[in-house]
Amino acid sequence: MNYHILDSLDLRAFDNREKDYGVHNYLETLGFVPDAVTLLECSVEQVHSYNGIIDNATVPYLWTCEREMPGGNVWSQRQLYGLVEELHKAGTKFFFGALAQPNIHDEYNTRAEWLMEHADEYDIFIMTRDGGSLRNSTGSINPLRRLPDGRYYEDVFLEDLIRYLEDFHMDGFLAGDGWCGLGVMLKDGDFHPDMIDQFETWSGIKVKGEKTSEQADFIWNDPGNRSLWMKFYAQRWASFFKKMKQGLEKHGKEFVSMDPWARGAVDAIYDYGVDYKLLSESGVGAVCIQAREENWGHRGGEWLYVWEAGEIVSFVTSRAYAPDLHLYWAIATCNAPEHWIAVKDMPNALERQSLSLPSTTFINEEGNYIRATEGLQFIFGTDLEKQDWKFLKDRWDIGFEEPILKTNGPVLVFSDAVYQYHLDRGERWELTAPGLRAIMAGASIHCAVNSKNLKKSNADGYVLVNPMGITNEEVEALLEKNRQGAGIVVIGNTDNEYLIRELGLKRAEAKEADCLCLDQEAIEKYWKGIDCDALACVKDGKFVEQVVSVKPVYNTKSRTEDKALFQAVDAQVLIGLQTEAGIYAGTTIREAGENTGLRMYVSRSYEWPKTLARWNFKFTMRSFAEELPDDVDRLNAHLMNRVCGNIAHASEGQIYQYEIHEDGTLHIGLGNMGNMFYGKPVLYVEDDICFHDDYAIQRYTPGGYIHFDTTLHTIKVEVPPLGSTHVKLKRK
């Protein structure tokens, strides 16, 4: 395999009644040998309570079976040691994994007690902004804290961890939830006096307020102090990771970590005070981003950042920002103790993501397209059957191993200057929300590039999202690509006058938009009727194309997301925003000259929901439907694809495309995210492009999901609910 696999599980996957502890049977079920097996869902107390003796003493059942779910075997210390040795013989490593919280699960009436019993010595439970402690709720701890005796907890933990790993011959540590961003968001904690003291020492400011809530308000409600709080946590996490990496490495042990709760680079820093570039510089072996649409999205009702579209943005921008970071996809396969088995419950969604997320890319300094993710972390590797693993492995082999010579279509531009601009102001860079909404609407975004690497990039088009703080040098680098024929799209707001002028706009006093004004003639000039369904019919013994119009009737009611910021100077207004002061730019295109690419501006820009907080933002079917793209979103996405040189266009749903062979053969992925009905997109292609092949994994009938159709330049496709369909196209 050309990709890595970390198999996180509990010991129910094995059998301590067998001579080899069930290792052979388990690997036979998997059908492959993972890089490492990780005993996850443990607590830190497993290492703190270890007495240095490996004997027949019983390992607490909660530590070997997730949540103490019934049905597993009871293991001894000696048997656990033997399991590690058998896995080594089979050619894989064994990592110890822990969550930064004692397991507290009401359903199974279980709780890890050691930290509770030693709370006086290990007082590291998170304090929230109201002064409350998580000790008796989630039990979440803060590994960055100092103990009451003044020692840093990380020093104590690292010493105990190394002793534990050495004695059991384990190969490394996987830091689970809460070790890379706390179990609460940055605005909610940890406001314990020790963290306040560390912050004051680091920042040089005195935090005002007698009560914890007053101190929290002083820090978070002031943009300048909030910025310092974000930077302080980023530096603390970086130093923690560096210390862990160096300490483990001295003993030949590896260190990998889960992510800050499914956040990519721009949201991790704001929500959890985690900077991906600093993590990369710490030397951590890998960070596993939780793209878990199946359980966090469909089961938990979390907002769209955990869905495929949101994690595409997170994957590609995180690697564009931190190209040396080893990024793994933490995939939702199965968690029986939590009552979801994704590969059986939602095979369509899991297939869609297994082909899409591993094929996301970023453009490096040499101009090469590099996969954004290098491997997988299973959540979890227990409770699945051989046919389930084969289903997944067949799809991962395509997603991770199919050649990618070039990702076609719009490429997100990551700017370190824009990142720093927002960080210095204590603001979220609103990149994820507009990006994921564009993807859901049909924008073919599957790649990102750092502005520093534009010189050698050969992308068809570039997308800037809310580029506040972008420099003139970065704008000029983009314009140089534009002069060479690449399209440029700017979404949202910018303060760069050079960029505004080159878009054919001028800044005007911000106004509220009353309604939308659509110029259908101007739209058709660029869109050329793709919102039509082409049907084949026979006339005089020959196939001819009969076009049946299904053009949408656009809703002209403005939304709060329609930002009236600029007016057109010499740009063509396709969608205008009617205000009391006249027509503002909604969607515009400027033609800058022969052989120069188009320049597009979109005022509509979405934001991360203000009410989103850990575990208290839940979708219903109605609220989710309201989040789906409307006809204006779809129009903007299709125009974006046109401006950025898409080779293929889909009439509905999501699309991405990349070249897999030097002869120009393309992989086209057509998604049906968030749709309980079958999608029936028409795939429109250039004159010299034709259908080449389908994929064997979807060849359920002679035609698979592809219609038998001879209409020129179109391919009719069926996309199953929540799933995807994949096509190979080739130049004639």
Same-domain check for residues 475 and 459: yes
Q: Is it the case that residue 615 has pLDDT exceeding 70?
A: no
Name the average pLDDT for the chain.
Answer: 92
Same-domain check for residues 505 and 381: no
Same-domain check for residues 313 and 335: yes
Structural tokens at position 632: 């204006």
Confidence of residue 41 (pLDDT cuts 50, 70, 90): confident
Q: Is it the case that residue 616 has pLDDT exceeding 60?
A: no
423-437, 463-477, 544-558: the lowest-pLDDT one? 544-558
Residue matched to tokens 């939780």: 290
Q: What is the pLDDT of residue 519?
A: 92
pTM of the model: 0.95
CATH number assigned to the domain comprising residue 635 = 3.40.50
Q: Is it the case that residue 617 has pLDDT exceeding 90?
A: no
Q: From the CA atom positions of the chain, what is the Rg in Å?
A: 27
Q: What is the pLDDT of residue 537?
A: 40
CATH number assigned to the domain comprising residue 274 = 3.20.20.80
Confidence of residue 539 (pLDDT cuts 50, 70, 90): very low
**What are φ and ψ of residue 601, in 5° steps?**
-125, 135
How many whole angstroms separate alpha carbon 217 and alpha carbon 198? Answer: 17
Enclosing domain of residue 663: 647-732
Is residue 724 within 8 Å of residue 731, measured between CB atoms?
no
Partners of 330 in the beta sheet?
290, 377
How many whole angstroms separate alpha carbon 1 and alpha carbon 305? Answer: 29
CB within 8 Å of 476: residues ≥ 6 apart: 498
- What percentage of the chain exceeds 70 in pLDDT? 94
User: Which residue did the predictor score with more confidence, 66 or 658?
Assistant: 658
Total domains in the chain come to: 3
In a domain, 492, yes or no: yes
Q: What is the pLDDT of residue 707?
A: 85
pLDDT single digits (tens) 507-537 = 999 999 999 999 988 988 887 655 444 343 4
In a domain, 202, yes or no: no
Q: What is the pLDDT of residue 716?
A: 87
Q: Is it the case that residue 545 has pLDDT exceeding 60?
A: no
Is residue 516 within 8 Å of residue 576, measured between CB atoms?
yes
Same-domain check for residues 395 and 417: no
In a domain, 490, yes or no: yes
157: burial class by Cβ within 10 Å (0-12, 13-18, 19+)? buried
Same-domain check for residues 36 and 61: yes
Classify 133 in phi/psi space as left (phi over 0), alpha (psi -120 to 50) or beta: beta
Same-domain check for residues 17 and 97: yes
Cα distances (Å, whole numbers) of residue 315 to 285, 310, 634, 722? 17, 9, 23, 21
Question: What is the DSSP annotation of 268-337?
Answer: HHHHH---HHHHHHHT-S-EEEEE-IIIIIIIT---GGGSHHHHHHHHHHHHHH-TT--EEEEEE--BGG
How many whole angstroms separate alpha carbon 195 and alpha carbon 466? Answer: 33
Q: What is the pLDDT of residue 706?
A: 87
Name the domain boundary from 376, 403, 430.
403
User: Which residue did the predictor score with more confidence, 549 or 387?
Assistant: 387
Q: What is the pLDDT of residue 556?
A: 87
Question: Per-residue b/e over 531-568, b at no fewer than 16 CB within 10 Å?
Answer: bbebebeeeeeeeeeeeeeeeeebeeebeebbbbbbbb
Classify 367 in phi/psi space as left (phi over 0), alpha (psi -120 to 50) or beta: left
Q: What is the pLDDT of residue 524?
A: 84
β-bridge pairing 461-465 and 487-491 = parallel
How many whole angstroms separate alpha carbon 683 and alpha carbon 444? Answer: 13
Name the domain boundary from 383, 403, 423.
403
Mean pLDDT of 278-307: 93
Q: What is the pLDDT of residue 682?
A: 85
Question: What is the DSSP annotation of 396-455?
Answer: HHHHHHS--SEE-SEEEEE-HHHHHHHHHTT---TTHHHHHHHHHHT----EEEEGGGGG
Q: Kindly report the length of the chain.
A: 732
Question: Per-residue b/e over 608-622, b at no fewer than 16 CB within 10 Å?
Answer: beeeeeeeeeebeee
Same-domain check for residues 456 and 556: yes
**What are φ and ψ of residue 127, in 5° steps?**
-105, 125
Same-domain check for residues 357 and 295: yes
Confidence of residue 544 (pLDDT cuts 50, 70, 90): very low
Is residue 588 within 8 Å of residue 605, measured between CB atoms?
no
Mean pLDDT of 460-483: 99
How many whole angstroms separate alpha carbon 160 and alpha carbon 661? Answer: 51
How many whole angstroms separate alpha carbon 641 and alpha carbon 439? Answer: 11
In a domain, 566, yes or no: yes
Which of helix, strand or coil describes residue 44? coil
Q: Is it the case that residue 614 has pLDDT exceeding 80?
A: no
Mean pLDDT of 26-36: 99
Mean pLDDT of 329-345: 95
Mean pLDDT of 89-103: 92
Same-domain check for residues 569 and 625: yes
Confidence of residue 622 (pLDDT cuts 50, 70, 90): confident
Same-domain check for residues 420 and 397: no
Question: Per-residue b/e over 380-394, b at no fewer than 16 CB within 10 Å?
Answer: bbbbbeeebbebbee
Name the domain boundary from 372, 403, 434.
403
Same-domain check for residues 584 and 619: yes
How many whole angstroms separate alpha carbon 7 and alpha carbon 389? Answer: 12
Is residue 437 within 8 Å of residue 647, measured between CB atoms?
no
Give the closest residue to 681 by CA, choosing from 655, 652, 654.
Answer: 652
Q: What is the pLDDT of residue 538?
A: 41
CB within 8 Å of 437: residues ≥ 6 apart: 304, 309, 606, 629, 633
Helical packing angle, 520-527 and 631-643, nearest 10°: 40
pLDDT single digits (tens) 413-456 = 999 999 999 999 999 999 999 999 999 999 999 999 999 999 99
How many whole angstroms separate alpha carbon 441 and alpha carbon 652? Answer: 8
Same-domain check for residues 456 and 521: yes
How many whole angstroms separate alpha carbon 256 and alpha carbon 244? Answer: 10
Count other Cβ atoms within 10 Å, centred on residue 40: 25
In a domain, 702, yes or no: yes
3-state SS of 182-208 is CCCCCCCECCCHHHHHHHHHHHCCCCC
Confidence of residue 670 (pLDDT cuts 50, 70, 90): very high
